[in-house]
Amino acid sequence: MKHILHIDTSPRSARSISRSLTEEFIRIWKQVHPGDAITYRDLGHYIVPPIDEAWIAAAFSRTETLPQELEAALKISDELIDEFLAADLYILGVPMYNYSIPANFKAYIDQIVRVRRTFIIGQDGYEGLVKGKKMLIVTTRGGKYSNGTLDFQEPYLKAIFELIGITDITFIHAENLSMGIQEGQQSIAAAHAAIHQFVAKYC
């Protein structure tokens, strides 16, 4: 039995294309794996706080026992990391915002990329602690970035999740969504097909 963590990051609701694509993934996944556990986190509507000075002091503290106020500063981070580590498959819906990711998703990443919890700094540099996991990231974009130019989204997400140990990452991009109805619809249809292929391959 797998444990899936489904994360949406668009602040839009019914109009969100990334939400509709991750929802499609969950719908067909459940048909094939009805017994799997699915945890849902909606970062688009329930914003996690940005890290602050107390968080940084607590996360990088070298003492075993933290004073109460520093321990409290890591409470949300601890909860998010526990939830993240409990999953073995991640499905993420991520709009491209200003060539990158929405700020609310960046705030989440800052909370879960934490020394001694999701990575360590060893003799050879950073070592990820989140091993043996699989991740599917479905992005939505108004334009098209297939030649890589100005795409700071995929390279960033790949780098940051690899840093914590997740190396098996698949991207599906729904692009051209602001470039006319036909272009957008073609890209959404291709993303749907790719999601179906991913589920079929992973079974």
Please give the residue ranges that form the binding site for ligand FMN (CB under 6 A): 10, 12, 16-19, 95-99, 140-143, 177-178
C-beta closer to ligand FMN: residue 113 or 177: 177
C-beta closer to ligand FMN: residue 30 or 45: 45
Q: What share of the chain is helix, strand, coil (3-state, %, to 5)?
A: 40, 20, 35
C-beta closer to ligand FMN: residue 104 or 140: 140
In whole angstroms, the minimum distance from the beta carbon of 19 to ligand FMN comes to: 6
C-beta closer to ligand FMN: residue 67 or 143: 143
C-beta closer to ligand FMN: residue 96 or 164: 96
In whole angstroms, the minimum distance from the beta carbon of 173 to ligand FMN comes to: 10
In whole angstroms, the minimum distance from the beta carbon of 41 to ligand FMN comes to: 15
In whole angstroms, the minimum distance from the beta carbon of 32 to ligand FMN comes to: 25
Quick one: CA torsion of 93, 27, 161, 189, rounded to 10 degrees? -50
Query: Are 4 and 89 spatial neighbours (Cβ–Cβ below 8 Å)?
Result: yes
In whole angstroms, the minimum distance from the beta carbon of 141 to ligand FMN comes to: 4
Other residues' Cβ atoms within 10 Å of the Cβ of residue 27: 11
Please state, in angstroms and rounded to a whole number, the distance separating the CA atoms of residues 170 and 195. Answer: 10
Going from the C-alpha of 87 to that of each of 6, 127, 132, 134, the distances in angstroms are 9, 19, 10, 9
